[in-house]
């Protein structure tokens, strides 16, 4: 009797773990997912070292085979990306990489960039409050599409994406608009942020581990960007 009860208890424990894992995968796949910012292409709206949550439900989350980028189907969308949204999507040129940029135009709209000024359907597009330009050089369109681009009409069910750091972003100016099937979610909020630690010491072998760990713990409080924790992303 005790043996049966023990086996039953183990079975319930295993079932609970499997259910919890299944729910976590369901939430991650279809509702909310965490993302990390590794580059400065969205500065100063998003910084290297920001960790954010994305709403995958709003655009109709793609349901992928676990641990792959193979999509089985999409959930129904509440709405499509709109100009001004900060969007997470799979790279059109590297399917294993997720990117985050700002949507500036949707299907049917005309894009033109003249000496860094972005025009949508002939009207200037207002830069986001924290967007920036870091290079005074103006490249001609034939040399580089960064500063002069178009005219280009966004195809239906596609979205034109640009980084807020306009002079330092690989985006739709280089690989054109992003198709809807690559869209993954809308950036919501920052749940953690810390500045990169570039001063070392760095791990070389097991003997260096105590020094690296001590340095990490000592510098951590000063690296955290406390003022960004919980920020809603616009």
Tokens linked to 153: 């009409």
Q: If DSSP codes are grouped into helix, strand and coil, which group holds residue 33?
A: strand
Q: Which residue has the higher pLDDT, 3 or 100?
A: 100
The reported pLDDT for the residue numbered 212 is 87
Q: Where are the domains of the chain?
A: 1-30, 31-228
Contacting residues for 163 by C-beta, under 8 A, at least 6 apart = 41, 42, 101, 102, 169, 170, 171
Query: What does the pLDDT look like over 99-155, one tens digit per residue?
Result: 999 999 999 999 999 999 999 999 999 999 999 999 999 999 999 999 999 999 999
The reported pLDDT for the residue numbered 26 is 46
| Paired residues of 159 in beta bridges | 106, 178
- Mean pLDDT of all residues in 215-232: 92
What's the rounded Cα separation, in Å, for the pair 100 and 87?
Answer: 6
- Mean pLDDT of all residues in 154-177: 98
Q: If DSSP codes are grouped into helix, strand and coil, which group holds residue 95?
A: coil
Which CATH class, in words, describes the domain spanning 31-228? mainly beta
The reported pLDDT for the residue numbered 158 is 98
Q: Which residue has the higher pLDDT, 9 or 209?
A: 209
Strand duo 50-55 + 183-193: pairing:
antiparallel
Q: Is the pLDDT of residue 3 over 60?
A: no
Tokens linked to 51: 């960790």
Q: Which residue has the higher pLDDT, 150 or 72?
A: 150
Q: Is the pLDDT of residue 92 over 90?
A: yes
């Amino acid at each position: 009797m005790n043996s049966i009860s023990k086996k039953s208890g183990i079975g319930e424990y295993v079932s609970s773990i499997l259910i919890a894992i299944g729910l976590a995968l369901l939430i991650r796949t279809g509702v909310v997912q965490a993302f990390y910012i590794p580059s400065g292409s969205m500065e100063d709206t998003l910084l290297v070292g920001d960790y954010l949550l994305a709403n995958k439900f709003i655009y109709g989350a793609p349901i992928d085979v676990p641990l792959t980028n193979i999509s089985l189907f999409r959930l129904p969308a509440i709405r499509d990306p709109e100009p001004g949204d900060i969007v997470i999507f799979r790279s059109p040129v590297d399917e294993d990489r997720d990117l985050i940029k700002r949507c500036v135009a949707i299907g049917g709209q005309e894009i033109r960039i003249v000496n860094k000024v972005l025009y949508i359907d002939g009207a200037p597009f207002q830069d986001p409050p924290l967007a920036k330009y870091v290079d005074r050089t103006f490249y001609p369109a034939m040399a580089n599409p960064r500063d002069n681009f178009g005219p280009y009409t966004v195809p239906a069910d596609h979205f034109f994406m640009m980084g807020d750091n306009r002079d330092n972003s690989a985006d739709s100016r280089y690989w054109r608009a992003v198709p809807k099937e690559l869209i993954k979610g809308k950036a919501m909020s920052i749940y953690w942020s810390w500045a990169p630690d570039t001063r070392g010491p760095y791990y070389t072998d097991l003997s260096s581990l105590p020094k690296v760990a001590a340095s990490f713990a000592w510098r951590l409080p000063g690296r955290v960007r406390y003022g960004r924790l919980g920020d809603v992303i616009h």
